[in-house]
Structure 1
């Protein structure tokens, strides 16, 4: 049976005021169709605010409660700064039907941005497939896109999320790697990068054949995806991919 879903990838500027960022994000989410899947850029509510990490971690609690109320009829994928006993983590969280459906901490930290000095590295085992309404999903967080061994962990997924705050000097890298991820895994890829002056933009929804829907002038990029395209791609160009079973 055909699965069709409206997909939305966001391309936002992040301001200094965390509350303003959350309000803007919520308004954009409310404008998206019900039964949709929405991806926001990496740490779009706070940015990498290394001088305000404790404040950002406290705000993550507020944001989490707010997004749990918004996700009754749509999927929201976002990353936020959170604190545990041994330090701070860059956590990707998937909200759906009023619950936290999936969480993973960023495993590969970006040394050029000094992330390794401010964050703890997540467990690589958290980079694993999960299911949304029969769609097998996976996620790679920004810098992790450069590591092909992490792509291998998500082979067989139907939809892969790539939230990012990618530097504009490496815009072509981001767009090329995102498209290569879609072609290599024969899956849909949703890439969402920030729109601040230092960011690459380049947000896109990419089909299993590598066709990209993107627009650097827009905050919201959308596509109604027909997931039958995955079956067609894998049958037409057979490289041995099949669905990856999710952990219960």
Structure 2
């Protein structure tokens, strides 16, 4: 696909002049079959704080003009404009597409204090990743580039493109060049950074809009003059780069409730594959966990110390009956899984219906397989699989007197309601 950049001088407050200039450039990019075109920060308005309410009212018209071009050329277009909502103003980047319409918008999270931007614009608090048909897209705006955690978040949520819309000054050109390359390298994604050029009062803008590959290669760099560029790129380079070695965090696995830790076999496998690409060590253990007790809690806490992520495979009700008889389990599979998921030491829970977890271990390929010390290593199901690719088998000592079976027997043997 082709990616385009439009580097423009911005005449502050003159929206029609800036729009006409942008339309001419975008049409030229469209005729070159550019799929994604990026404009600078505040490309149509500049930072005319004294005219901010009037300029924000122009935004719908400006977006409509961009949408018309996007539709004509089957192009996605990104750039920032002033946006008003409930009496507050935001520096907002919009991503439009010829087929999808408005894909989404993202507000600048760090208005720039030295120019007074933070006194006029409210900071944004969300960093969405947009789904376009050519890939996943994250957007940051100018000063946001200095905060690496923003791009880490976007890349962690699988962004393949990070767009930067900027009004970056020439005096800090070196920072611009270093930071755009750094964000591409550390996040192993394309960085498409459109800056403005020209002057505004005493400020001289840097230009030097750039397209950086996921390996940090500079695929295009403008000079300080007005220009446009259309560059052919291969989006599959992102996955190729990440497959060789991966420095991108997994999407934050932060379940909104502990029940979200309970997942299907396929979901567990997908999550574990991502974590293993990051170099995380996966710990696996399994059991019925029918009546949860302190022995279980200590066992699982020790298991968690063996790696970075602990997944528990829980026997289904059918599986428990096959192993322990028709009177078990005492607690059904849903309740057993939920109790385990509520433990802070447990990262994920999945159910299996077979008598053994052999097939599940084969599918998940954990780095560490944990069982109680009452099992000899030669008898531990899946030990051969884990050891075949260099994994470890760990046997954890059990606490005497905390067996589920013994607890049930004590309850059943109680006299006059007294458990001995």
The TM-score, its normalising length taken from structure 2, stands at 0.54
Cα deviations by residue, 1:5-30 (Å, 9 ceiling, x for unpaired): 10011210012421011011011111
Q: Where is the helix percentage greater, Structure 1 or Structure 2?
A: 2
> What is the match of residue 21 of structure 2?
24
> What is the match of residue 14 of structure 1?
10
Q: Secondary structure at the match of 1:36?
A: strand
The 1:211/1:243 distance shift into structure 2, 3 A limit, reads: farther
Q: Aligned partners of 1:30 and 1:107: how far apart in 2? A: 31
Q: Aligned partners of 2:226 and 2:89: how far apart in 1? A: 32
Whose radius of gyration is greater, 1 or 2?
Answer: 2
Q: Aligned partners of 1:240 and 1:94: how far apart in 2? A: 24
Cα deviations by residue, 1:179-216 (Å, 9 ceiling, x for unpaired): 10000110010001110232111200100111111121
Q: Which runs of 5+ in 2 are unaligned?
A: 253-420
CA contact (8 A) 2:187 2:248 kept: no
Which deviates more from structure 2 when the two are superposed, residues 51-60 or residues 230-239? Answer: 230-239
The TM-score, its normalising length taken from structure 1, stands at 0.90
CA contact (8 A) 2:197 2:226 kept: no
Question: How far has the Cα of 1:81 moved from its partner?
Answer: 0.7
**1:150 and 2:150 are equivalent in the alignment:** yes
**1:75 and 2:76 are equivalent in the alignment:** yes
**1:133 and 2:133 are equivalent in the alignment:** yes
> What is the match of residue 100 of structure 1?
102
Q: Aligned partners of 1:69 and 1:240: how far apart in 2? A: 36
Q: Which runs of 5+ in 1 are unaligned?
A: none
Q: Secondary structure at the match of 1:44?
A: coil
Q: Aligned partners of 2:86 and 2:248: how far apart in 1? A: 43
Q: Aligned partners of 1:209 and 1:44: how far apart in 2? A: 29
CA contact (8 A) 1:205 1:221 kept: no
CA contact (8 A) 1:107 1:144 kept: yes
The 1:158/1:243 distance shift into structure 2, 3 A limit, reads: farther
Q: Secondary structure at the match of 2:179?
A: helix
CA contact (8 A) 2:152 2:249 kept: no
Question: How far has the Cα of 1:238 moved from its partner?
Answer: 3.0
Q: Aligned ranges for residues 195-214 of structure 1 at < 5 Å?
A: 195-197=197-199, 198-212=204-218, 213-214=220-221
* Structure 1 runs (4+) greater than 4 angstroms displaced: 240-244
Q: Aligned partners of 1:211 and 1:129: how far apart in 2? A: 23
Q: Aligned partners of 1:134 and 1:25: how far apart in 2? A: 23
Q: Aligned partners of 2:111 and 2:248: how far apart in 1? A: 31
> What is the match of residue 36 of structure 1?
35
Q: Secondary structure at the match of 2:233?
A: strand
Q: Aligned ranges for residues 208-227 of structure 1 at < 5 Å?
A: 208-212=214-218, 213-216=220-223, 217-227=225-235
> What is the match of residue 234 of structure 1?
242
CA contact (8 A) 2:187 2:247 kept: no
Q: Aligned ranges for residues 112-131 of structure 1 at < 5 Å?
A: 112-123=114-125, 125=126, 127-131=127-131
CA contact (8 A) 2:82 2:91 kept: yes
